[in-house]
Amino acid sequence: MTSYQHQVIAVTHSPYKEKFAVPRQPGLVASAKAELEMLPPYDDINAFNGLEAFSHLWLVFEFHKNAPSSDVANRWSPTVRPPRLGGNRRVGIFATRSPNRPNNIGLSLVEYHGVIQRDGKIFLSLSNIDLVDGTPIVDIKPYIPYADSIPDAKAGFAQTSPEKLLAVDFNQDAVSQLQSLPSHYSGLQLFIKEVLQQDPRPAYKKLKTDNKIYAMHLSDFNIKWQCTTSTITVLSVDYV
C-alpha cells in the first residue's frame, strides 16, 4: 500500500494537558489560547509574511495519542459511535471527524493573532483551539472564506452547534484559589467555565446528574468538579 511521509513543522503549546476536556470541535471555547512553536527550518520569519491579513488558519495536525497510522490495518473499524448521537448509534467513520480514522490526520480551524518572536524562536498566537498540548502540526494554511465558507452546507446530525447544556458555578474554595493567582491567569476562570459548559463527561452522561468528582489538567492547574442537578460546580483549582 502506498503511503507518504509528513514532517512535523510545529508543536502546540496548549492549556489542554490531556484529551479529557478538549472540546469536540474547534470554535466552541473562544478563550482557549495556544501557541504554535515553529521547528527549524520552518522558523523563518519570512514564511509568515502576509499572514497578518488573515484572521483564521487551518491546522493540519497529527492525533499523536493514537496508535501510529501504519498500524491501521490492525485497528481499522469502518464505524464509530459519535458523541453527538449519545454514543450509542454507529455511523460510518467518514461521516464523522472521530480521531479514530484510517490516518491520524486532524483538521482544526483556529483564530490567528500574529507571530511572536521570543528567545530566538518563532511562535504563532492562536485562540479558539481544540488541540491537546504537544500536538504535532504538519501544515498551516490560511482560511479563505470565498473557498471555505459554505453556511448552507448540509451536515445531518452535526447541523447545529452543540448546546451549552450546563450552568457552571464555582464554590467558595475555588473562587478563593482563583482570586489568589497572579494576574496573567486572569482569563482562567472564563476558560474553565467555557470548557465545562460543553460537558466533557462521556456522551451517555449528558444531562444526567452524577456524584463522581472529576479532575482535569488545564493550563498549570488541576481542576476538580462535580455535576449535580444540571449544574457543574468547580470544587478546587490547584497549582500543579
Q: Does 158 bind its own copies (CB under 8 A)?
A: yes
Write down the least CB distance from residue 190 to its own copies, Å.
Answer: 21
Q: Is 58 in the site for its own copies (CB under 8 A)?
A: yes
Closest CB 45 distance from its own copies, rounded Å: 8
Contacting its own copies within 127-156 (CB under 8 A): 136, 138-156
Whole-Å CA distances, 25 to 36, 131, 215? 18, 10, 21
Are 14 and 189 in contact, with CB atoms under 8 Å apart?
A: no
Nearest approach, Cβ of residue 203 and its own copies (Å): 16
From CA 131, how far away is CA 93, in angstroms rounded? 20
Cα(83)–Cα(163) distance, integer angstroms: 13
Q: Which is nearer to its own copies, 103 or 226 (CB)?
A: 103
Residue (92 or 182) nearer to its own copies, CB: 92
Task: Give yes or no for residue 54 binding its own copies (CB under 8 A).
Answer: yes
Return the residue of 160, 172, 183, 229 that touches its own copies, per CB under 8 A. Answer: 160
Of the pair 67, 167, the CB lying nearest its own copies is at 67
CA distance 110 to 127: 6
Segment 11 to 50, residues that bind its own copies, using CB under 8 A: 25-27, 39, 41-42, 44, 46-50
Cβ 109 to its own copies shortest distance, Å: 6
Helix, coil or strand: residue 148: helix
181 binds its own copies (CB under 8 A): no
- Tell me the pairing of strands 167-170 and 231-239: parallel
**How far is residue 118 from each of residues 38, 105, 158, 172, measured CA to CA in Å?**
11, 29, 40, 38
Q: Tell which positions 82-111 bind its own copies, by CB under 8 A.
A: 90-97, 101-105, 107, 109
Question: How many Cα atoms are found within 13 Å in the side-chain-facing hemisphere of 24?
Answer: 20
Q: How far apart are the first and last CA of the chain?
A: 45
Which residue from 79, 117, 171, 228 is in contact with its own copies, where contact means CB under 8 A?
79
78, 172, 212, 229: which one contacts its own copies (CB under 8 A)?
78
Grid cell locating 120: 530566538
Residues that contact its own copies, how many (by CB under 8 A):
78
Judged by CB under 8 A, the residue of 13, 20, 60, 206 near its own copies is: 60
Cα–Cα distance for residue pair 62/194, rounded to 1 Å: 25
Shortest Å distance, C-beta 159 to its own copies: 7
